[in-house]
Amino acid sequence: MADKKYKLTSEKLEWEGHVLYRIKALTDFADIKAGDLGGWIEFEDNLSQEDNCWIYDEAKVFESAKVIDSAQVADAAEVSGTALVSNYAIVNNNAKIYDNVMLQGFCLVTGCARLYNDVIVKDKAVVSDNAHISGNVKLLDYALVKDDAYVGDSSVISGYSYIGNSAKIMNYVRIHDSSILDFAWVFGHATVTDKSKIRGKAQVFDSAIVTHSIVEDYAKVFGKAKIHGNVLVTGTAEIGGSTDVDSGIFEEGVYTNNASIELFRISSNVTFKEI
């Protein structure tokens, strides 16, 4: 390895049961000049001596966490546990990542976001505001999770998906190029894709598949139901069973048979049972 790019100073900080040391640059690199003071680390292993990675301001990296490549941790952000911040990833503001979280690519974790357990965030994905992500979640591509949204368990969010407001994603959900907003809840083995929107207090769960459609208000799509092709499920409508719906508007009622429906409109309080 070449000469060291930084050293630990004698300035100490006791933080959450750990003794951290402020870092000081020994050479010029990236936007850093020799003599610049950086943030805080517990051990030299927390920040690579190679490449352009840096810890700025009052940011803290401790325990067995690592910052490598050209990654940055700034402001009052914290990285701990065995978390890894790599490539060109950025953690800033008051964000915290810990446990076994991995950040790769050009992703950004900002605001007061919290990431923990075995979460992977990569590519150009963004987590901001008060969003929480836990479990084995994978956040890929240009996905955005913000506001007070929660994503957990083994869900995968990809494409240009947007998870916002107080939406919740749990279990084994797959979201691609779609929006989950307001107080919507998607869970189970559900799949939402192709510019779909789940909003209001709507729920999509079990093994339901929503493609290029809208589920809103208090509507529910569940079971093995499939809705696709500009379907609107709104009001208090519920679609379940193995129903396959193409190009319909559902406003009220419960439909749980195994029919294939095209260009259909339900706007009464009729209840359909699976047979």
Strands 72-73 and 60-61: unpaired
Token pair belonging to 213: 């459609």
State the Cα–Cα distance between residues 271 and 266, nearest whole angstrom.
10
Query: Computed from CA positions of residues 71, 77, 83, 89, in that sequence, does the dihedral angle turn out positive or negative?
Result: negative
> Could you tell me the two tokens for 125?
């994905």
What pLDDT does residue 248 have? Answer: 82
SS3 content of the chain, % helix, strand, coil (to 5): 0, 40, 60
Rounded to two decimals, the pTM is 0.92
User: Quick check: 91 and 77 in contact, CB under 8 A?
Assistant: yes
Closest C-alpha to 74, from 120, 34, 23, 1: 23
pLDDT at position 2, please?
A: 61
Number of C-beta neighbours around residue 29 at 10 A: 17
Q: Who contacts 154 (Cβ-Cβ below 8 Å, separation ≥6)?
A: 135, 136, 137, 171, 172
Cα–Cα distance, 186 to 247 (Å, whole number): 22
Name the residue with tokens 């325990």. Answer: 63
Q: Of 156, 208, 211, 218, whose CA–CA distance to 182 is shortest?
A: 218
Burial 181-215 (b: 16+ CB within 10 A, else e): bbebbbbbebbbbebbbbbbebbbbbebbbbbbbb
Name the DSSP class of 3. Answer: S
Question: What six digits make up the tokens of 4?
Answer: 């060291």
Q: Residue 254's pLDDT is what?
A: 79
Q: Which residue has the tokens 């004698």?
A: 10
Mean pLDDT of successive 10-residue stretches along the chain, which has 275 residues: 88 97 97 97 98 98 98 98 98 98 98 98 98 98 98 98 98 98 98 98 98 97 94 94 88 70 40 33
User: What pLDDT, on a 0 to 100 scale, did the predictor assign at position 274?
Assistant: 37
Res 266: pLDDT: 43
- Asked if 23 and 8 touch (Cβ cutoff 8 Å), the reply is yes
Spatial separation of the C-alpha atoms in residues 95 and 126, rounded to whole Å? 12
